[in-house]
Copies of this chain bind each other. A is one copy, B any other.
Amino acid sequence: MGERIWTAGLVVIGDEILSGRTQDKNVAQLASWLNVQGIRLAEVRVVGDTAAAIGEAVDALRSRCDYCFTTGGIGPTHDDITVDAIAQALGVPVVVHPEARAMLEAHYADRGGITDARLRMARVPQGAELIANAMSGAPGIRFGDLFILAGVPHIAAQMLDSLTGTLEGGLPVVSRTIGCWVAESEVAELLRTVEAAHDGVSIGSYPFFREGKVGANFVVRATDAGVVDGCIVDLTTRIEAQGRTIAPDGI
C-alpha cells in the first residue's frame, strides 16, 4: 500500500443531539461525502452548546486530522455559539464578513430586511472564507482546514456540494457487500482467514435478525477495486463451500 491516507474529524454541536430529541444525520452524510473525496472520517465527537466543550473538541480533532468539520450552532439564536467558541479556540476575534452581510441582506430583502439577529449569521472568525449555501441566506465558514457547517442536514448537504472537489484527498475507499443467512459466529474463523489473505482489505461483519432468522452482511473495503473484487470472490467461494447461499449485493 503506502499511499497517503487523508483524514477528517467531525464535531457535532448541539444539546438537541445529546438530549435524544434530534437524531443526527450529519455523521453518515459527511462520511459518505468524504469517502468520495478520498478522505476518511477518523473520529466524531458530539458536544453540547458550551464554548469550552466546542473549543476542546475542535482543537483535538484539528490537531490529529487533516481536516476538521463542525455541524450545528450557526443560526441566529442565543444557543448558536459555534462561531464565538471556535474563534476563541483559534485565538482570533469575531468579525462581520462583508460578503456574508451582503448575502443576508439580499436574502432577507423581501422578508423583512436585515436585523441584529439575522446579522449574527454573518459573523465569522477573522480571516475566514465563506462556503456558499444555495438553500438559505446564511453561508458556512471555512478557516483553513476547518469547515463550519449548518446543523440542519439538507443545508449542510448544500454546503458540502459547494466544497465538492476542492479538498485534497487520496484514493477513495471502494467497498462491496455480500450477505448470507448465517449466524456470523459460524463464519467468524473464515472471515478472519480471508481478511488476512488479502493485503489492504478490511472485512466488516454486520449481523441482523429479520423474518425470524439471523443473517449477516459482510463489507469488504480497500482502496483498490481489483483487490476488493478478488476478496469478494474468495469469500463467496469459501462460504458457498459450506453449502450456504450468498446474496451477491447483501441482504
Closest CB in chain B relative to A24 CB, distance in Å: 6
Which of A48, A53, A121, A183 is the most central at the interface, judged by chain B CB atoms within 10 Å of its CB? Answer: A183
Distance, CA A207 to CA B121, complexed state (A): 14
Chain B, residue nearest A80 (CB): B205
A40 adjacent to chain B (CB < 8 Å): yes
A86 adjacent to chain B (CB < 8 Å): no
Closest CB in chain B relative to A67 CB, distance in Å: 14
Of the candidates B42, B45, B78, B186, which one forms a contact with A18 in the assembled complex, judged by CB atoms under 8 Å apart? B42
Residues of chain A from 83 to 114 with CB closer than 8 A to chain B in the complex: 111-112
* Interface pair B188/A117, CB less than 8 Å apart: yes
How many interface residues does chain A have, given as a range? 35 or more
* Interface pair A186/B47, CB less than 8 Å apart: no
Of the candidates B42, B117, B183, B207, which one forms a contact with A186 in the assembled complex, judged by CB atoms under 8 Å apart? B117
Residues of chain A from 162 to 210 with CB closer than 8 A to chain B in the complex: 173, 175, 183-189, 191-192, 195, 202-209
Q: Which residues of B contact A20 (CB under 8 A)?
A: 27-32, 35, 41
* Interface pair A78/B191, CB less than 8 Å apart: yes
